[in-house]
Chains A and B, each alone.
Chain A
Amino acid sequence: DIQMTQSPASLSASLGETVTIECRASEDIYNGLAWYQQKPGKSPQLLIYNANSLHTGVPSRFSGSGSGTQYSLKINSLQSEDVASYFCQQYYNYPLTFGSGTKLEIK
């Protein structure tokens, strides 16, 4: 199974700041990576697919990058509505696996 190691586990930042969340795969996943946002009590929402493609309707302050085994999600100009948990997911191979999540809070 491909292990996804996500960091940090939690993050506190001020409004307007830029934050970055990282995901490392245990083997090359050839950009088969998605990022999700999950607000408390809600289902996950797709933000990014193919490592760097923005899903329809997602604000452009969200961006994804990376290749091989290393990937990142960047949020520019942090807004209050960005308070959530964020998860990465690899879909290069089965079983599908997720990162352990990053809880983002506002300072």
Chain B
Amino acid sequence: QVQLKESGPGLVQPSQTLSLTCTVSGFSLTSYNVHWVRQPPGKGLEWMGRMRYNGDTSYNSALKSRLSISRDTSKNQVFLKMNSLQTDDTGTYYCTRSAYYSRFAYWGQGTLVTVSS
């Protein structure tokens, strides 16, 4: 069955870089797109960016200068790196899958990232 699972540090210091991994199973990264979506505590959802099935990436312009998404298809993993973290980057980070249309039937469990010294 389709599964996605985020992993990474729960705590990041301000101004440091966040590195998260999304490990997928049940489908191929060369057939589906993987997106990153985040949610501050008690707030709404924000689309961050995506890795397309063909290796192309696109980013939310609000985060583009700080964000990088990459993948390792041999390990079934998609990576998120975001630098210059601030306290308002605290939240739950999800990876999620889409096909041609960017709606999300499959989500990871999410990983809580706290930015604090």
Q: Which of B32-59 contact A (CB under 8 A)?
A: 35, 43-47, 58
Interface SS, A side: loop
- Given known A-B contacts A55-B105, A91-B103, A98 and B47 have beta carbons under 8 A apart: yes
A43 within 8 A of B: yes
Cα distance, A89 to B62, chains bound together (Å): 18
Cα distance, A97 to B108, chains bound together (Å): 19
Interface SS, B side: loop
B74 within 8 A of A: no
A-B contacts at CB below 8 angstroms, number: 48
Name 27 A/B residue pairs within 8 A (Cβ), A-sorted. A32-B101, A34-B104, A43-B94, A43-B109, A44-B45, A44-B94, A44-B104, A45-B107, A46-B103, A46-B104, A46-B105, A87-B44, A87-B45, A89-B104, A91-B101, A91-B102, A94-B58, A95-B47, A95-B61, A96-B35, A96-B102, A98-B44, A98-B45, A98-B46, A98-B47, A99-B44, A101-B43
The answer to whether B101 and A43 have CB atoms under 8 Å apart is no
For chain A, give the interface size range. 20 to 34
Q: Which residues of A contact B46 (CB under 8 A)?
A: 98
B60 within 8 A of A: yes
A100 within 8 A of B: yes
Q: Which of A36, A49, A94, A98 contacts B101 (CB 8 A)?
A: A49
Cα distance, A37 to B35, chains bound together (Å): 18
Q: Which residue of A lies closest to B98 (CB)?
A: A91
Q: Which of B92-117 contact A (CB under 8 A)?
A: 94, 101-105, 107-110
The answer to whether A96 and B44 have CB atoms under 8 Å apart is no
Cα distance, A87 to B104, chains bound together (Å): 12
Given contacts A32-B101, A44-B94, A44-B104, 16 further A-B contacts (CB under 8 A): A34-B103, A36-B104, A43-B109, A43-B110, A44-B45, A46-B103, A46-B104, A55-B105, A94-B102, A95-B60, A96-B47, A98-B46, A100-B44, A101-B43, A101-B44, A101-B45
